[in-house]
Amino acid sequence: MRTGYPALAALLIVLAVSAGLLMRRASAPAEKAEGGLRVVTTLFPLYDMASAIGGGRAEVSMLLPPGMEPHSFEPRPGDMARLERADIFVYTGSSMEPWAGDLVRASANRELLAVDAGRDIVRAAGPSGGAPDPHIWLDFDNAKVMARTIADAFQTKDPENAEAYRRAAAQYVEKLSALDLSYRNGLARCRTRNIVYGGHYAFAYMARRYGLEYSSAQGISPDSEPTARDLAALVEQIRREKIKSVFYEELASPKIAETVARETGAGMLMLNAAHNVSRDQLRDGVTFFDILGSDLAALREGLECR
């Protein structure tokens, strides 16, 4: 995973802020959306939570452009301008968005409430005990914590509507509980419990929660390249365990999964970590629950569940 965005981008942001090009005066509060809060989120799960909790009382946008793989995202000066107009900025922590803290520190918006939605969540170790796995929302108990943290921020900035935000968060948490039950029931009886993933390391939380084994071709970052030995081990595992399907990830090239599938004759199924959505999906109102419901169907097929 990247450790920050390039020095040039950081310099442009700082210079723009210093020159007053991206802001009104430092003492000026952020402009509110008509009749509600302006909320900027980094990733799609946060966007979905904030949209559901804010309802018609919040204008929610996402920094990550639709269709972009989030691990390769680097903020642009225009993203800082969006923070200057925002009431709330929501991110998941330095392990997924190492640049988020830099944006907050560079912002001249003294009214901005920066919310680390993952601050109360213990991170699971990455592959081979390496860097922490940042895909915290794929454990639905973690997602509940994130939703409540976002609701708390909304109540802080808009106390007049606090009860409405509490109710909306409670409804979101109930839907997460129902989704969790669907996963527990749907994955209870499967021929194999091994997820072979031809993408980056993203599903450790989900595998741990539902008693599954998980092998990925890459590390935490999609930029990491598997070695020939890594690929050979996955091919051998698929053959040895007679695994029928290899999973590939959204928004990234499926070439690794294709290679493994070609070598073994396994089928291919998409498993979406819900980092982001396509432009069409965003336009059509696809939700976090839609994505994770499709994932459950793919897992049941790939793991041959009854």
pLDDT per residue as tens digits for the range 255-306 = 999 999 999 999 999 999 999 999 999 999 999 999 999 999 999 999 999 9
Does the structure show a pLDDT above 80 at 24?
no
296 with 210, same domain: the answer is yes
**pLDDT (average), residues 233-251:** 93
User: How many structural domains are present in the chain?
Assistant: 2
230 against 54, higher pLDDT: 54
Query: Which DSSP helix (H) or strand (E) runs through 238?
Result: helix 228-241
173 with 254, same domain: the answer is no
Helix, strand, or coil (residue 208): helix
177 with 210, same domain: the answer is no
34 with 159, same domain: the answer is yes
233 with 169, same domain: the answer is no
102 with 230, same domain: the answer is no
Q: What pLDDT is recorded for position 27?
A: 26
Boundary-marking domain end, from 165, 182, 199: 182
Confidence of residue 226 (pLDDT cuts 50, 70, 90): confident
* Boundaries of domain holding 26: 7-182
Q: What pLDDT is recorded for position 300?
A: 98
In this structure, what CATH number is given to the domain that contains residue 216? 3.40.50.1980
b/e per residue 59-76 (b: at least 16 CB within 10 A):
bbebbbeeeebbbebebe
Does the structure show a pLDDT above 70 at 242?
yes
In a domain, 99, yes or no: yes
Q: What pTM was computed for the model?
A: 0.87
Report how far residue 281's alpha carbon sits from residue 211's, in angstroms, rounded to the nearest whole number. Answer: 31
Boundary-marking domain end, from 163, 182, 201: 182
Report how far residue 251's alpha carbon sits from residue 278's, in angstroms, rounded to the nearest whole number. Answer: 8
121 with 229, same domain: the answer is no
Do 219 and 130 meet the contact criterion of CB atoms below 8 Å apart? yes
Of 104, 175, 114, nearest in space to 143 by CA: 175
Boundary-marking domain end, from 117, 152, 182: 182
In a domain, 100, yes or no: yes
**pLDDT (average), residues 136-164:** 97
pLDDT per residue as tens digits for the range 153-211 = 999 999 999 999 999 999 999 999 999 999 999 999 999 999 999 888 899 999 999 99
76 with 105, same domain: the answer is yes
Report how far residue 10's alpha carbon sits from residue 6's, in angstroms, rounded to the nearest whole number. Answer: 7
Name the β-bridge partners of 85. Answer: none
Average pLDDT, the chain: 87
212 with 288, same domain: the answer is yes
Does the structure show a pLDDT above 50 at 5?
no
In a domain, 82, yes or no: yes
Which 8-state DSSP code applies to residue 159? G
18 with 100, same domain: the answer is yes
Sign (positive or negative) of CA dihedral 215, 205, 209, 62: negative
**pLDDT (average), residues 35-61:** 95
pLDDT > 90: what percent of the chain?
A: 70
Q: What pLDDT is recorded for position 70?
A: 84
- Return the minimum-mean-pLDDT range out of 36-50, 59-73, 78-92, 279-293: 59-73
Report how far residue 130's alpha carbon sits from residue 300's, in angstroms, rounded to the nearest whole number. Answer: 29
45 with 176, same domain: the answer is yes
Does the structure show a pLDDT above 90 at 138?
yes
In a domain, 1, yes or no: no
Do 195 and 176 meet the contact criterion of CB atoms below 8 Å apart? no
Q: What are phi and psi of 164, to 5 degrees?
A: -65, -40
In a domain, 78, yes or no: yes
Tell me the residue ranges of DSSP E strands in the chain.
37-41, 58-62, 88-91, 113-116, 194-197, 213-216, 245-248, 267-270
Confidence of residue 222 (pLDDT cuts 50, 70, 90): low
176 with 193, same domain: the answer is no
306 by Cβ neighbours in 10 Å (0-12 / 13-18 / 19+) ranks as exposed
Q: What pLDDT is recorded for position 35?
A: 59
In a domain, 2, yes or no: no
**pLDDT (average), residues 35-56:** 95
**pLDDT (average), residues 82-105:** 93
- Return the minimum-mean-pLDDT range out of 16-30, 86-100, 199-213, 241-255: 16-30
Q: What pLDDT is recorded for position 12?
A: 38
Sign (positive or negative) of CA dihedral 140, 146, 149, 153: negative
